[in-house]
Amino acid sequence: METLSPTHAEVAGRKIVGRVLFGMLVLIAALVGATAGLLLVYSTNLPQIEELQHYRPSTITELYDAKGRVVGSFALQRRVIASYDDYPPVLRDALVSIEDKDFYAHSGINFWRIAGAAYRDIASGGKVQGASTLTMQLARNLFLSPDRSFYRKIQEALLAIQMERRFTKPQIFTLYANQIFLGSGVYGFQAASEYYFSKPAAKLTIAEAALLAGLPKAPGYYSPILHPERALKRRNLVINAMLEDGKITAQQALEAKDRPLQLTLQHDPNSLAPYFIEEVRRYLEAKYGSSEVHEGGLRVYTSLDVDLQKAANRAVLDGLAAYERRHGWKGKLFNVIAEGIDPARYQDPDWEDTDPSPGTYLHALVTGFNADGAKLRLGTRTTTLTQADGAWTNRKLADILAVGDLVYVKLLSSDAGRTRVSLEQNSGAQGALVALDNDSGEIKALVGGRNFDESKFDRAIHALRQVGSSFKPYVYTAAIDQGASPEDTIVDLPVTFATSAGPYSPHNYDGKFEGSITLRRALAQSRNIPALKLAEKLTIHTVIEYTRRFGITSNIPEYLPVALGAAEITLMEQTSAFSAFPNDGVRVAPRYITRVTDYEGRVLEEDFPEVKDVISARTARIMTSMLREVVLHGTAAAAAKMPYAIAGKTGTTNDFTDAWFVGFSPSMTCGVWIGYDEKKTLGQKETGARAALPIWMNFMSVALAGKEKEVFQDLPADASLQAAEKLDTPDVAPGDGEAH
């Protein structure tokens, strides 16, 4: 048989095919090599995924009151760590349906989604379609920058693949759900649920879960607070996605989409006791460092009592309002129009609380007038201020208010969409209150001023103010401790003292003199001459030494008028000092914190009461009985009607610049101060009994509820006190007998 030789054309064709195949192999090898090289380059600086085994994101440091209720928090990122089971199926389904439908099936990258996104990007001529899976989003959030470069995308994909190999889907979901930013300074779905709905994620409804699941795409753009219309559309898109995936029924989807946006924004926990929280923050940062306090998730157990703090806030603000009304309308209102601000766009910081409770004091904007009075706006609320609501001004509202004015009001009620307010004013007067548990020294309530947002200066702890006659108990304590008796007499007549500054001729508040008077009555009526005579006999140096025993560290000059309160002391020092009287002469140092634990629950510190003997139990009980006389028949007689065992001392300074009352029961000591930051008068007759005592009474009525059976310790048998409750002394009007 004859063998046919290949033709020239066939040989040439085979050579071409061989060359093409060889070229393709070379190209493939080059591509594989290049790809491998690129992957090597891109993976060289990748973070170590192993770090996630011990990863814990920045978390909130929370502060608790004595009953375990949250009273404050510190955080750079407001995040609450939750487990996979803490996130309900409805939230998991909503998030997966809108962000990554194949989350439980893919291995970190969804190639079909990437191809689809690439096609849409090419068709549109830009980057409009995202292709990142939840795992890729997590990788970007944890390790990479937010820039949208090809280099970052490759790294994102590589990290996602590594994560999927090392962690389970529930672990990846949990990391993502705790890490993602969801607007308004909130990170993670647990914190978001608490912030937007004031409840844990486990209790989310379909509509609520869909709203949160729609936020990761663009938290600011879809913010339900700033852009409710966009948030509603995005929420309904998520609900439709859940329906398409079979996660909910058509009926459930219809009902969920019919629901309006109903936010219940979480109240700022720091707003309840801001001055107290600020003191705690300073202490913690000094001891543990700022990063640990704001990122470490500490648990701080404080001495505060939420109920008593609320009562203290209310008492101080109501007391200041009563003071303001006594002195008439002063006007001088801030007008937004005069400042070039559009009234329709104005937002006041007071309006950040979308659901203020009755009794809250806040600012309202005058928007117009009608036949009933002035129309006001308080955030999203509107109301009418009637003439009766401002009757105390004795002026017509149209004469004292103008459109654009910011007026200070008290929220009286807000029911069924109807809001009622009363007109108040803020002339700048300030108030402070401290309440201490006698046995433990724990600070149960603290108010450092009228408004923390306006002034962060803490007048309860840092303000040095003259204490007036509330200083006199130290003079009498020294006398009793050195052998005097409450029934000893002293002469209350005009006298001139020789001092280093020259002759000093003091007078009593009422300008009268009572002649021979017992020490008990002299203190109860706050007579000046007896206090000065005692101080001169004891020496003012001795009196000051006694104040040091009581824990007062403020500088006190050694001159005689100090006996009448010409010394500057803080409210905290004065209140803590007085707590030694009902405590049988033992002073327990004030304390804010009882325990601090780290994120894992390990105890970092535990504070125990710091106890110091100040005076003998005998002296303390005698002084308690004498200070009780101040309430029964003296300058604080207005408090005698209270059904509790109480005692204390009023204080007023020259020109009525400071008004004080520091008093106690067997279990609690409370101090109140009223005044202006600058040394100016509160007004004629604004004594401690008139300005400060009513605040003390309002607070203590709440603090002592249910403690009607409390009694002070029995008096010593040798103290000649049998007549303590039987003195034939007329009651005096509040303020009578006050010292300058």
Give me the active site residues, please.
99, 469
Separation between Cα atoms, residue 737 and residue 650, nearest integer Å: 10
H-type alpha helices, 327-396 = none
Largest CA distance in the chain: 158
Cβ(111)–Cβ(228) below 8 Å: no
DSSP labels for 442-467? BEEEEE-SS-TTT----TTTT--EE-
Cβ(284)–Cβ(291) below 8 Å: no
Separation between Cα atoms, residue 132 and residue 129, nearest integer Å: 10
Question: What would the two tokens of residue 63 be?
Answer: 């502060």
The answer for 513, left when phi > 0, alpha when psi is -120 to 50, beta otherwise, is beta
**What value, to the nearest 5°, has the Cα angle with vertex 346 and ends 421 and 185?**
100
Q: How far does CA 393 lie from the centroid of its chain?
A: 33
Residue 120 burial (CB count, 10 A): 14
CA Rg value for the chain: 36
- Which pairing describes strands 186-187 and 78-79: parallel, antiparallel, or unpaired? parallel
Measured over the CA atoms of residue 464, residue 469, residue 475 and residue 476, the dihedral's sign is negative
- Which pairing describes strands 430-437 and 668-675: parallel, antiparallel, or unpaired? antiparallel
List Cα–Cα distances, 21 to 6, 14, 16, 17, 737, in angstroms.
Answer: 21, 10, 9, 6, 114
Separation between Cα atoms, residue 446 and residue 570, nearest integer Å: 13
H-type alpha helices, 327-461 = 397-400
Question: What would the two tokens of residue 3 be?
Answer: 């063998």
Q: Which of 371, 406, 368, 412 is nearest to 389 (CA)?
A: 412
List Cα–Cα distances, 205 to 201, 208, 224, 320, 556, in angstroms.
Answer: 9, 5, 16, 44, 63
3-state helix, strand, coil in the chain (%, to 5): 40, 20, 40
Amino acid at 137: Q
- Specify burial of residue 451 (Cβ count, 10 A radius: 0-12, 13-18, 19+): middle
Task: Give the count of alpha carbons within 13 A of 61, CB side only.
Answer: 24
Separation between Cα atoms, residue 411 and residue 431, nearest integer Å: 20
Identify any residues that bridge with 613 across adjacent strands, giving them in sequence order. Answer: 586
